[in-house]
Structure 1
């Protein structure tokens, strides 16, 4: 998970000179983040090599269709530039747009919490007091980091683009070193045993194995929507499509090679048991102690840089709907430095709350990762569904050849189906947890509508609200009784 540089302040004047290689590098930088460092164990605990190849093929095809959806929406509706949530609002009404915005914001908050757990879990390899990122000391360090970054951003440190460029180099190079070193350490016997991993115990059938990897593939590709915003910055308009495909395929290659190279040197049971960030343990098992320090440094640099970008993103996702009158006006306040301060405070407090929750979670690191990915599915699904709606109705396709409209409708249909599959793969637990967040957040929607003197719900929105509230109640009761475990 990483953040789009343009979403965090890239200057249009500079960006307008972007060549194809620069655009491609920015697409890569927007997707390669902390998640890649957790891939070996997350795949190892779920599947063998065959299952991972199928999983990456499905994720690659689905996410590429989603990338094309965002690119197409940027062309079809260039007037909608207030963030991912705006597509849901345009296609399905104000309340759907609100839920899309809250879903994306909550996803960013869960992802930011994951970052601090990830950093402290990395430090736990050197200092026992940090454990797996779920100790009091870990929560205290994470809390200090949250408010330090909050202070810096509130003072006006808004442009993360330069930091992201530097961080991209520091996070991609160690990953490439990891892949190359493990390629030379290839063990044919281990690779053969890991092909299906059936000999090591029961992982479930191949379908179950693939389903169990889906959320991690969503998490590592978060930021894919950033590619669509580069179109107005390119020297040549046609370079955007090329950069999207080239950058995405490059990232997909990196992610799949990290997974496959890990299977080539470590037996599946050992891979599954490797502490997170698991790239550290795998690399150390091949090169010795220096590998632990090498990858650990890459993790910390990468995560701190990404955290700045996603903290800005979380605040922006609350600020923009407030400015568009979809959230209460107080969330649109800025301080003297031009920082959306109220939205930033709410976002920082939310991360602080989730950090406190890590003290009672069974597996804080993987829980935050899965929660982040599950919540991101809400805006992704609604954006894909809106693109499908445009294709089916013909809206915005006036004067466009029918063949183009048909092709883009098929792409949107595949993307919509893929996100629905991801909801099913995530399971009822995370769907109910999403409604636990969305149900009380509806009060913000009611307040915003009341401030504007507008009708609160349409008949269809009343039904949707009722479904969300019922889901939230069921989820809350499940948490209270222990039937939903976290």
Structure 2
């Protein structure tokens, strides 16, 4: 018996493969995709500097409380590995937990295809016009090869993936830091920053035009900042590979480092170019800015950084996209097929299915343009319930007096954190637009078929849905039909297209 206990302890210890540094780099890499290199144009597109500063204050506080939520939950419920769905499952039922997991999984898979499209577009800078738009046949072919190559690499084990990700994360910091230094110390003019602080003036020479109400300007930036921070939950998703304290520290450190860099990259360019000039910049706008200041090498330097950033983040999300279905299958949330692992301890079946989903989506890119951009934005919005569910679960833990008395974080602090994180999530839903949430319900509706399969495996003699679950499923199907009708009849408003 002692030998068996020791063996189990050794095995459990072996699964804790990530330390604070490796986990922090994973969180940062998950957030630091190609989008960071186009923040100046994305933020300036519909907002002036004053509104952007307000937006970052709102976002910074909101994401802070969201990160603190993950930190607190990792501390009080360390047994809930892959907590991004387990929190909702424990707090609000099996179907809710499944829907959170399914939406997050689809968002991750489609997001990886987004990385593929952006990577091909970056390659087009060096090999025009073969990869133009990221959806030529050459782009689809190369991207498909990379999708399978990354999956095969991840199949070899988590440790090798962690080492390569750490190298890639450090490497992609270099062009961001160089960009900030060049602008801040060699080109910055603080007088320019106040030229049209609130976006109310028209200046044809600077391409400035009135941008309207400040509230609408702030609201227009919310999907941009949402895309920047998707991945902050990376440590939580991979919490099976580290202890609770490591998960909490990595989440918070990743938030601090990413926020400082995001704000600097989006704000400093206003001391070099006007809002109108920044809004008209070609993607990636950091390359256009640096090229204008230092010559052609600036564009080359940034585009190389974009490629490194995309490959590094893509690698992390290949790991994450396999982790969640595997964790879900272990407790019956997903069909048991997804629980299979290979000799290296990697969720092989989950990864292969995820890769097939990504490959199918890649083929969809070939046949679509605007529709694909809408779907990519919708899958980003679909991740919001995972954030809201986690914050609401912490709220429920406190309301039901289940919060440990000896927790590292005070009960009052946890309550404030949970309430504000929940309100921030609801604000993001409002800023994103209800119409895209309705279309996103189509993704959830498809997932109901997988839920039914898992329910049949776990409880073959029980009804497929309880009364409350049946009502929720019906509402999702109705919302999906309404959303799809809006999509195909052209009733959806213009959506932010991530770059």
- TM-score norm. by structure 1 comes to 0.88
What does 1:125-164 correspond to in 2, within 5 Å? Answer: 125-126=125-126, 127-154=128-155, 159-164=160-165
Deviations 1:238-271 (A, max 9, x none): x986765554233211101000122222222232
| Cα distance in 2, alignment partners of residues 135 and 209 from structure 1 | 35
Deviations 1:253-307 (A, max 9, x none): 1101000122222222232222222221122111110011111111111211221
| Cα distance in 1, alignment partners of residues 341 and 108 from structure 2 | 20
What does 1:91-106 correspond to in 2, within 5 Å? Answer: 91-106=91-106
1:342 deviation in Å? 2.9
Check whether the contact 2:199–2:212 (CA below 8 A) recurs between aligned residues.
no
Partner residue of 2:413 out of 407, 429, 432: 407
Between 429-438 and 49-58, report the one with greater CA deviation. 429-438
Deviations 1:186-242 (A, max 9, x none): 1345423352233222433111111111112122112222456789968x96x9867
What does 1:365-444 correspond to in 2, within 5 Å? Answer: 367=374, 370-398=377-405, 404-444=410-450
1:13 deviation in Å? 6.7
| Cα distance in 2, alignment partners of residues 475 and 297 from structure 1 | 39
User: Aligned in 2, Cα 1:284/1:226: closer, same or farther, shift over 3 Å?
Assistant: same
What does 1:462-481 correspond to in 2, within 5 Å? Answer: 462-481=470-489
| Cα distance in 1, alignment partners of residues 41 and 425 from structure 2 | 24
| Cα distance in 1, alignment partners of residues 24 and 344 from structure 2 | 32
User: Aligned in 2, Cα 1:291/1:404: closer, same or farther, shift over 3 Å?
Assistant: same
User: Aligned in 2, Cα 1:241/1:118: closer, same or farther, shift over 3 Å?
Assistant: same
1:26 deviation in Å? 6.1
User: Aligned in 2, Cα 1:359/1:203: closer, same or farther, shift over 3 Å?
Assistant: farther
Partner residue of 1:192 out of 173, 191, 194: 194
Check whether the contact 2:329–2:338 (CA below 8 A) recurs between aligned residues.
yes
Deviations 1:106-137 (A, max 9, x none): 11112211111111121223312322324343
| Cα distance in 2, alignment partners of residues 203 and 172 from structure 1 | 33
Partner residue of 1:307 out of 304, 314, 324: 314
Between 354-363 and 418-427, report the one with greater CA deviation. 354-363
User: Aligned in 2, Cα 1:11/1:283: closer, same or farther, shift over 3 Å?
Assistant: farther
User: Aligned in 2, Cα 1:107/1:466: closer, same or farther, shift over 3 Å?
Assistant: same
User: Aligned in 2, Cα 1:273/1:216: closer, same or farther, shift over 3 Å?
Assistant: same
SS at match of 2:78: coil
| Cα distance in 2, alignment partners of residues 471 and 168 from structure 1 | 40
| Cα distance in 1, alignment partners of residues 369 and 200 from structure 2 | 27
1:59 deviation in Å? 0.6
What does 1:24-35 correspond to in 2, within 5 Å? Answer: 28-35=28-35
SS at match of 1:463: helix
Between 465-474 and 146-155, report the one with greater CA deviation. 146-155
| Cα distance in 2, alignment partners of residues 263 and 366 from structure 1 | 28
What does 1:55-454 correspond to in 2, within 5 Å? Answer: 55-126=55-126, 127-154=128-155, 159-183=160-184, 184-188=186-190, 190-199=192-201, 200-227=208-235, 245=252, 247-335=254-342, 338-359=345-366, 361-363=368-370, 367=374, 370-398=377-405, 404-452=410-458, 453=460, 454=462
Indicate the residue corresponding to 1:6 in structure 2.
none
Deviations 1:161-201 (A, max 9, x none): 10111011111121011001011211345423352233222
Check whether the contact 2:38–2:283 (CA below 8 A) recurs between aligned residues.
yes
Check whether the contact 2:81–2:239 (CA below 8 A) recurs between aligned residues.
no
1:368 deviation in Å? 6.2
SS at match of 2:152: helix
Check whether the contact 1:121–1:276 (CA below 8 A) recurs between aligned residues.
no
| Unaligned residue ranges in structure 2 (runs of 5+) | 1-11, 202-207
Between 352-361 and 452-461, report the one with greater CA deviation. 352-361
| Unaligned residue ranges in structure 1 (runs of 5+) | 1-8
Check whether the contact 2:117–2:135 (CA below 8 A) recurs between aligned residues.
yes
User: Aligned in 2, Cα 1:346/1:189: closer, same or farther, shift over 3 Å?
Assistant: same
Check whether the contact 1:45–1:271 (CA below 8 A) recurs between aligned residues.
yes
| Cα distance in 2, alignment partners of residues 192 and 156 from structure 1 | 52
| Cα distance in 1, alignment partners of residues 241 and 317 from structure 2 | 22
Deviations 1:21-76 (A, max 9, x none): 77766654553333211211110112111111111111100001011111111122
